[in-house]
Amino acid sequence: MAKLPTPDELSKINYKPPEKRWVNTPAEFKDGFWCFGTRPKYLQAVDMPNPREWKPIEDDWKLPENWKEIFLEGFAERLKKYRSFRLFMDICVRCGACADKCHFFLGTGDPKNMPVLRAELLRSVYRNYFTTSGKLLGKLAGAREITFDVLRELWYYAFQCTECRRCSVFCPYGIDTAEITIICRELLNLLGLNTDWTMGPVANCYRTGNHLGLEPHTIKSIIESMVEDIETITGIKIEPTFNRKGAEILFITPSGDLFGDPGTYTCMGYMMLFHELGLNYTWSTLAAEGGNFGLFTSNEMAKKLAYKIYAEAKRLKVKWILGGECGHMWRVWNQYLETWHGPTDFLETPVSPITGTKFDYTSSLKAVHIAEFTADLIKHGKLNLNPSRNDYLKVTFHDSCNTARGMGIFEEPRHIIRNVCNHFYEMPENTIREQTFCCGSGSGLNAGENMELRMRGGFPRANAVKHVHKHYGINMLANICAIDRAALKPLMDYWVPGVEVCGVHELVGNALVMKGEKERTTTLRSEPLPEKEAKENV
């Protein structure tokens, strides 16, 4: 694996593009920037085309004979299916407003990481085959043929975009390079050109329902071990149920919350909250994954993986769905889920059994975000909270791209944090809410072999954290996304050591005073509560 440069080396970034025109500069594959190609077994597992052993770095990708035809036919088909795609291929004026809005451009200085140019890579091919001017004028009209070099370039840069939509916020026509990347990756997938890190979870998810490939009994035992931890910390034994028919609520969260810290602490937070409320909910071992790496593969794959959500809700005869903290899961739910698998007439409009609040803004999707659910509880004073247990933390909040720009959930998590923590500080304005910067590892890029790219992509985010770390002593970066919890940790260790990462419901779990709990001496991380420790040492 490529050696990671030091933060100092890495933060010297040159934004000046080279003299040579980009069309004449084939992509140079740099170590640490690209992910391994998918293994054939993953494609075979879900019946995706052209499985084979291949290496992105090699000159022979073992493409099918007629790969150009496949690519162009797929292209034409998607132009017909998506107005977004056809329009975004046509109306960019290359004003450059999006150029320095992409974290990958800001972190690499590679001009092909400017959203406009990332899109032009594909747009140039579009012009050549699908526009009159391109057909007539060729290069003069900015058109180029699809060649192996072009394909390599498309691949290299499609996997240097986290589909975060930040560019789309600034574009005068709303051109969403994420949408273009999504479709570009679909085209690449027609040729079997996914990354291993994306395709593995997809294959796992198809078989077991979750990305990690956890089988039902394992899910149960993982959750039970969390239950034990909770008992150790609070003295309270909680009893989650699995695949229980007739529960009122089906709870679904990304499997990242089940595996590896700090995700597991967030999960403990959810369960403590539910126990305290006496919530009538169940887990489903099949729908134990809200995340959907299909989104980073193809629309069809995403739809297949999302099938289980409503199917399990129906089978278990619940009334509505409660969704955990996850970014792309919520983008998928908000933008696609019901269009794919609706209508949802077997469910009811969600009502909070505790506060009686009817969540009528989700009367059709019938799924409530846990941050909305908890914010409502707090607003109604239904929780006994002791925010001083989080006093050793100085917290800032990272808006996940997907929930920010593909949904717009900003206030709910902040409301929660303000009530469970005493020290909350925002990062600078241009780096939060709809202008939030990606963790740099979204959309299936959180592999190990592309670590330099991830650290570079996360540079703008880390830079903003560093700012508040310096000014307010921030030591905790809260978020509502499982990929963030996994990806921000190495990012902080690299750029801003001393800042930890947590889900919002970990903070809730810490502050929640449960009925009959013993005096807490540790946090959910089983670390001694600092003031307790101080007292004991007196």
Partner 1 sequence: MGALFSFVMVILLVLLAYAGIKAANLQIFFGVVIPYAAILTFLLGFVYRMLKWSTSPVPFRIPTTCGQQKSLPWVKQNKIENPSTALGATVRMILEVFLFRSLFRNTKAELRDGRLGYGSSKWLWLGSLAFHVSFFTISFRHLRLFLQPVPSPVHFVETLDGFLQIGAPTFLITGSILLLAALFLLLRRFLLPTIRYISLPADYFPLFLIIAIASTGILMRYFLKIDVVSVKELTMGLVSLNPMIPEKIDVIFYIHLFLISVLLAYFPFSKLMHMGGVFLSPTRNLSNNNRMVRHINPWNYPVKARTYEEYEDEFREKMKNAGIPVEKE
Task: Summarize as ranges the residues that interact with ligand SF4 (CB under 6 A).
Answer: 92-98, 101-102, 104, 115-116, 118, 161-167, 171-173, 175, 177-178, 181
Which residue lies nearer to partner 1 by CB, 326 or 529?
Answer: 326
Phi, psi values for residue 66, rounded to 5°:
-100, 40
Distances (CA, A) of 85 to 75, 124, 180, 205: 10, 14, 7, 28
To the nearest whole angstrom, how small is the minimum distance from the Cβ of residue 290 to ligand SF4? 21
DSSP letter string over 70-99? HHHHHHHHHHHH-HHHHHHHH------TTG
To the nearest whole angstrom, how small is the minimum distance from the Cβ of residue 535 to partner 1? 38
Identify residues 130-189 at the interface with partner 1 (CB under 8 A).
Answer: 131-133, 140-142, 165, 168-176, 179
In 3D, which of 226, 289, 285, 279 has the Cα closest to residue 252? 289
Query: Interface with partner 1 by CB under 8 A: which range of 4-12, 191-199, 479-487, 496-504?
Result: 4-12
Identify residues 480-519 at the interface with partner 1 (CB under 8 A).
Answer: none
- Residue 454 binding partner 1, by CB under 8 A: no
Which residue lies nearer to partner 1 by CB, 45 or 532?
Answer: 45
**H or E segment to which residue 397 belongs:** strand 395-398
Which residue lies nearer to partner 1 by CB, 280 or 522?
Answer: 280
- Residue 221 binding partner 1, by CB under 8 A: yes
Looking at the DSSP bridge assignments, the partners of residue 500 are: 476
To the nearest whole angstrom, how small is the minimum distance from the Cβ of residue 56 to partner 1? 25
To the nearest whole angstrom, how small is the minimum distance from the Cβ of residue 177 to ligand SF4? 4
Which residue lies nearer to ligand SF4 by CB, 48 or 116?
Answer: 116
243 makes contact, choosing from partner 1, ligand SF4, none, with CB < 5 to 8 Å by partner type, with: partner 1
Interface residue with partner 1, options 91, 228, 232, 527 (CB under 8 A): 91
**H or E segment to which residue 323 belongs:** strand 320-323
Rounded to whole angstroms, the Cα distance separating 129 from 110 reads 27
Rounded to whole angstroms, the Cα distance separating 477 from 484 reads 10
Rounded to whole angstroms, the Cα distance separating 182 from 124 reads 17
Which residue lies nearer to ligand SF4 by CB, 189 or 390?
Answer: 189
In 3D, which of 371, 359, 279 has the Cα closest to residue 325? 371
Q: String of b and e for 44-57 (b: at least 16 CB within 10 Å)?
A: ebbebebbeebebe
Torsion of CA 488, 493, 496, 497, to 10 degrees: 140
- Residue 430 binding partner 1, by CB under 8 A: yes
Reading across the β-sheet that carries 281-283, which strands appear in turn?
A: 281-283, 249-252, 320-323, 367-369
- Residue 296 binding partner 1, by CB under 8 A: no
Identify residues 232-261 at the interface with partner 1 (CB under 8 A).
Answer: 242-245
Count residues binding partner 1 (CB under 8 A): 121
Interface residue with partner 1, options 4, 100, 236, 351 (CB under 8 A): 100
To the nearest whole angstrom, how small is the minimum distance from the Cβ of residue 134 to ligand SF4? 17
**H or E segment to which residue 500 belongs:** strand 500-503
Rounded to whole angstroms, the Cα distance separating 426 from 429 reads 8
Which residue lies nearer to ligand SF4 by CB, 179 or 276?
Answer: 179
Interface residue with partner 1, options 3, 16, 515, 535 (CB under 8 A): 16
Which residue lies nearer to ligand SF4 by CB, 96 or 260?
Answer: 96
Residues 6+ apart with CB under 8 A from 200: 38, 39, 42
515 makes contact, choosing from partner 1, ligand SF4, none, with CB < 5 to 8 Å by partner type, with: none
Which residue lies nearer to partner 1 by CB, 168 or 523?
Answer: 168
